[in-house]
Amino acid sequence: MSSLSRRTLFIVLALLVNFITISQGLAALSLSDGRGGVYEDLKWKALLCCELPFAQTLDGGLSEHPPVGQCRLLNATKPEFSRNCLDILCWLEGERTNLICNAKSHRAAAAASLLTVRPQLVVQMNVLSDETNHAAQCAGEETAMCSISLHGNDTTVSLTISISLNETTALSPKMQVTTHHLRRPDPPVNLHYNVTTEGEVIFRWSDTQPDSYAINYEIRYSFNSSLQQWEIVKVKGRSWVPLNDLSSGIRYMVQVRCQSHFNYWSEWSQPFHFTLDVSYIPAEVFTTPGSEVTVSAVFHNRSWSASKAVWMLNGQVKIPESQYRVINEQVSAVTVTVDEPGFDTLMCCHQWGERFKCIIAYAKIYTEGMFNADITCQSKNSEVDIMSCEWNKSAWAQVTLLYRQYTSMCETISEMEGSEEAEENMSLLKECPSGAGDHRECTLRNLSLFSCYKIWLEVEGGRGKVRSFPVYVAPIDYVKPSSPTVMEATTLPNKTLSVSWRRPHLPVYDMQYELRFVALRGMANTQWKVIGPLLESLAEIQLEESCVQFKVEVRCRRLNGSGYWSDWSMSYTSVVYNRKAPEMGPDFWRIIQEDPVRSVTNVTLIIKQPVLAGDPYSCVEGLVFEHQASGRAVWSNETTLVQFHLFQWRKEAHTVTVMSRNALGISTRNRNITLLHQPKRRVVRSFSVVANASCVYLSWSLLSDHPVPQSFVIEWLDLNKDPEQDMSLTERLQWVRVQSTSRDRSLCRRFYGSEEFTLYPVFVDGEGEPVRYTATRGDPAAYILLLIIAFLSVVLFVTLLMSQNPMRKLTWKDVPNPNKCSWAKGMDFRQIDTMENLFPHSEGLTACPLLLVSESICEVEIIEKPHPVMLEHEKDNEVLIYNSGDKTTTDSALLADSSEPLSLEAATAAPTPETSGQSSVMYSTVLLSDQPSLLRKQQESLSSSSDEGNFSNHVCSDSANPRHSSSYNSVEEFSETSDQDYEASESTGAAKDLYYLEVNEEEEEEEDEEEIEETQGEREKNETVMRVDARPLLKGKDSTAIDSNNISHSIPLYLPQFRTECINPP
């Protein structure tokens, strides 16, 4: 009974102990989350005490079964030193690599101190990973240590321990260790920030594991590299924090750490850098075509105001301000509608004077749907398995080109498009190997020529992508073949260009061709002529002329279907077919130019192109220049058909022969030229040039006692060419060769009236002395006007003659009242009979529109005086004649006499003072003579008579209108206009003096002037003139006889008009 009660009590106590143990264990678990232990200092700790049945056995006697003890877990923080207690410790080795658990009995510690020999306590530990089922078992005396691999994962490990002593055993309850609690928490990740539409910066982060036990966070941030000064913010229970007082333009570094339930602080997170300048909300937008999109921009720079925001679309177009909205001082919003699918950007800038300051951030708008990328493809050269595709895209978009190969025909693919889109197999897609970036082309390789390829673009954003319309391309349809090869091209004598070529081998389909050709001659005017399409690989082209080399090129493309033209083939120069060598060499002339800098003389040969219409069987393909200098060897240059040939002349006798050549030989009849430095012989006696509006007529005569030249060359500068553009004299010089028997030549082409013509007599052994002429021509319209005026003058003059007396009355009525003239003050005109009374002194003369009457015709005397013919003098005359056609007597004279609109003046190339005498109005011909005195007489007589006739004619005809007079005005204004230049011209001066001499021949005052102005020689001429003057001017051509007495009487009345200041203003 006692034993029974004792057993019952023991069982109750055991149950009680177990209950207490279990309840304590549960309590411990609930606190420490470690069944049977506590987590402390990154370790799991437990105290296991066991009651071994050793004592019972002694008390209760021998038992039939081995005794089993009881173990319980105690509060590890309050160690109870018992011989059968174990300290259990678990910790992590490495970063979640191994879990190590160690169980150590208190007996071991006591034994170490007491050094007594006692039976050993055997500890056996079993460790089992719940997730991986990895197990480890270890045993030892008084202590045991187990290690279990975790494979880098957090897990829960079950732990059981049994102890044995003296063949008695005690088994621990199952203990669990969560490895997650044995380490520090991981630092937060995914640090980022948002900006609200109000401009507030919200900083956010994430825990490593969703079921994290993190409860507290710390955020620290610093700017620039000064990491010594941290700003720390504490946050409890949430993973975000607003960060205020951040400055713009500063690069911040932010770190976060968290604290777990067990008060473990994590390490600081990876630093997150950010700079606040302009934030877009949202930074990426996916929309549909036609929908409104609103994007806000936050200016973190406090000096930027939202009211000065400027929104740009794709950096190119300023969005109208009506679409802006100011949210607050720092936030601006814009609303846009994108109509087309594709990719666009929005930038919010700040107005800064005239410019818009922007930062590098921009918002991206992806408009869903398919955009038109205008993809075009063609094969690369002859490599038909390589295709190059190009497309258009926004410069802001980063695109990817994708393609997929189909085995069907392209026509059928589009029909399958709807179903294919849904089941687009990504494994069949290929991306452009050269990538995207800002490329606008991609080269696809290893293509099948006859497959169909679907090609499209994609623009990928953070939350999706937009794509372009696909194109379906069969490379066979977009092949750009290689160029054909021209095999042969021949210019045949029958004015045919025969060309044959060879097509490229691939692709194998039928080809069509185009041929283009251009003549090699006259390259400045290169115009290709294109012939095609041609179906055969040969062609014969009819030409306008033979003997011409052509540059020929050919290209090809597919005959049926689409495709591209190949590039033009390499140029092939046609061969000119010849049967024999050319017969004649070309005609040529030379230009001799001194180079003062290098002290050399350059000679340029100007080659006249050979006449191609000659023998088509002996075409000229090039030239041979054969030089022979005196005492030196002969050398030659072979060229193509050039227009110019330049060489240096050493001022020695130098003969150049120019020969034509072709493949069969050189010409036998050639022209040569001999350059000589010695004085040239003079053979030309006279050279005159007459021109009208379209033609120039040249004529010359030779001295009789000289040999006849081989030919003549007439040379002049082409004023039609711009000296600025055609700098070379060789480009502007024109020349023509005339046969030796000719003595005149007409040149009908565009002349400007101021060309200088030079006549070169050419002998076998060199050139003769050239003769130059400068042609001048007035404006034809002016001549016509003068002709009309002259005609009207004649009519008026005749009318005046017929009604002399009535006209006089009429004239005096029209004349202004002389009483109002200053010079007439105090005069009684009714008492004035003579000129002396009317004009007491010459200074009082004024301009009055008085009319000549018939009996008071002016008197003009012409003095012909030999004087040096100077080039400047001639030029002045040219100017005068050319520019003042209505003033010039000479012009009118020409019109009246010969209807020739051009007046020409002549000078020899080497004029001498003795060889020519010239009137100031001389225009026609200058004769060169070896007998100057004789020539002078001839000139005098010719000029004087000629001019006299002219003057007499026009003095009368133009007398009606002094302002348009061609008679006395010609004397006055002619002299006046060229006054400066004529200061040295004694002839004009003589005429002027003579004129006044005639007027005042009875007055002594005027004689004083004459003494000043005249030389003795001129006086002699005046004397001669006096003789001429005795003859009335009109007498020369007008049959109307005028009594000299009448003249002398009437002159006092009208003569002052010749000296009026209005006609010849000072």
Partner 1 sequence: MYFPALLYPCILGMLSLVHGIPIHPDNLKNLVKLQADTIILRIKDYNDKLKLYPKLLIGDPELYPEIPADKTIQGLGSIVDTLTTFQKVLQRLPKGHVSQIRSDLSTLLDYLKERMTSMHCTSKEPANGRSLDAFLEDNATHHITVGYLALDRLKQFMQKLIVNLDQLKSC
Residue 190 or residue 573: which is nearer to partner 1 going by CB?
Answer: 190
Residue 415 or residue 438: which is nearer to partner 1 going by CB?
Answer: 438
Cβ neighbours of residue 1053 closer than 8 Å, sequence gap 6 or more: 835, 838, 856
Residue 161 or residue 348: which is nearer to partner 1 going by CB?
Answer: 348
Give min distance, CB of 318 to partner 1, in A.
6
- Please tell me the distance from the alpha carbon of residue 762 to that of residue 608, in angstroms, as a whole number: 17
Give min distance, CB of 978 to partner 1, in A.
59
Residue 351 or residue 512: which is nearer to partner 1 going by CB?
Answer: 351
Give min distance, CB of 275 to partner 1, in A.
7
Q: How many CB atoms lie within 10 A of CB 221?
A: 19
Instruction: Give the 3-state secondary structure of residue 559.
Output: coil
Residue 313 or residue 782: which is nearer to partner 1 going by CB?
Answer: 313
Residue 147 or residue 398: which is nearer to partner 1 going by CB?
Answer: 398
Spatial contact of 549 and 623, defined as CB atoms under 8 Å apart:
no
Residue 468 or residue 950: which is nearer to partner 1 going by CB?
Answer: 468
Q: How many CB atoms lie within 10 A of CB 1012?
A: 7
| 370, amino acid identity | M
Residue 439 or residue 1019: which is nearer to partner 1 going by CB?
Answer: 439
Burial class of 613 by CB neighbour count within 10 A (0 to 12, 13 to 18, 19+): exposed
Spatial contact of 365 and 346, defined as CB atoms under 8 Å apart:
yes
What are φ and ψ of residue 191, in 5° steps? -70, 135
Give min distance, CB of 305 to partner 1, in A.
17
Tell whether omega for the bond before 962 is within 30 degrees of 0, i.e. cis.
no
Give min distance, CB of 277 to partner 1, in A.
7
Burial class of 870 by CB neighbour count within 10 A (0 to 12, 13 to 18, 19+): middle
169-172: long-range contacts, CB 8 A cutoff, minimum separation 24: 169/52, 169/66, 169/67, 169/68, 169/69, 170/50, 170/51, 170/52, 170/53, 170/68, 170/69, 170/70, 170/71, 170/84, 171/68, 171/69, 171/71, 172/48, 172/50, 172/71, 172/73
Q: Which residue has the tokens 């055997």?
A: 122
CA 361 to chain centre: 31
Burial class of 627 by CB neighbour count within 10 A (0 to 12, 13 to 18, 19+): middle
Residue 349 or residue 444: which is nearer to partner 1 going by CB?
Answer: 349
Give min distance, CB of 440 to partner 1, in A.
9
Give min distance, CB of 361 to partner 1, in A.
6
Give min distance, CB of 206 to partner 1, in A.
19
Q: How many CB atoms lie within 10 A of CB 751?
A: 22
Residue 318 or residue 529: which is nearer to partner 1 going by CB?
Answer: 318
202: tokens are 């919200």
End-to-end CA distance of the chain: 174
Give min distance, CB of 395 to partner 1, in A.
5
Residue 359 or residue 675: which is nearer to partner 1 going by CB?
Answer: 359
Give min distance, CB of 386 to partner 1, in A.
20
Residue 350 or residue 936: which is nearer to partner 1 going by CB?
Answer: 350
Burial class of 427 by CB neighbour count within 10 A (0 to 12, 13 to 18, 19+): exposed
Residue 436 or residue 775: which is nearer to partner 1 going by CB?
Answer: 436
CA 942 to chain centre: 67
Give min distance, CB of 340 to partner 1, in A.
18
- Please tell me the distance from the alpha carbon of residue 510 to that of residue 560, in angstroms, as a whole number: 7
Give min distance, CB of 383 to partner 1, in A.
23
Q: Within the chain, what is the greatest distance between any pair of CA atoms? A: 204
Give min distance, CB of 312 to partner 1, in A.
6
Give min distance, CB of 767 to partner 1, in A.
52
699: tokens are 């004529």
48: tokens are 């296991």
Residue 192 or residue 580: which is nearer to partner 1 going by CB?
Answer: 192
Spatial contact of 221 and 245, defined as CB atoms under 8 Å apart:
no
In sequence order, which ranges of 407-458 are alpha helices (DSSP H)?
Answer: 410-415, 417-422
Residues that bind partner 1 (CB under 8 A): 225, 249, 251, 273-275, 277, 283, 312, 315-318, 345, 347, 349, 352, 354-362, 364, 395-396, 398, 435-439, 462
For residue 785, list its beta bridge partners: none
- Please tell me the distance from the alpha carbon of residue 267 to that of residue 272, in angstroms, as a whole number: 14
SS3 readout for 234-285: EEECCCEEEECCCCCCCEEEEEEEEECCCCCECCCCCCEEEECCEEEECCEE
Residue 279 or residue 970: which is nearer to partner 1 going by CB?
Answer: 279
Instruction: Give the 3-state secondary structure of residue 774.
Output: strand
- Please tell me the distance from the alpha carbon of residue 828 to that of residue 820, in angstroms, as a whole number: 12
- Please tell me the distance from the alpha carbon of residue 704 to that of residue 152, in angstroms, as a whole number: 128
Cα-based angle 235, 222, 302 (whole degrees, multiple of 5): 95
List strand residue ranges (DSSP E) for 469-549, in order. 471-473, 485-492, 496-502, 511-519, 529-534, 538-542
- Give, as one character, the DSSP assignment of residue 820: G
Give min distance, CB of 387 to partner 1, in A.
20
- Please tell me the distance from the alpha carbon of residue 687 to that of residue 924, in angstroms, as a whole number: 11
Instruction: Give the 3-state secondary structure of residue 101.
Output: strand
Give the count of alpha carbons within 13 A of 543, CB side only.
26
Residue 154 or residue 277: which is nearer to partner 1 going by CB?
Answer: 277
Give min distance, CB of 323 to partner 1, in A.
16
Give min distance, CB of 409 to partner 1, in A.
34
Give min distance, CB of 443 to partner 1, in A.
14
Residue 364 or residue 645: which is nearer to partner 1 going by CB?
Answer: 364
Q: Beta strand pairing status for 135-141 and 143-149?
A: unpaired
- Give, as one character, the DSSP assignment of residue 972: H
Spatial contact of 379 and 503, defined as CB atoms under 8 Å apart:
no
Residue 304 or residue 649: which is nearer to partner 1 going by CB?
Answer: 304
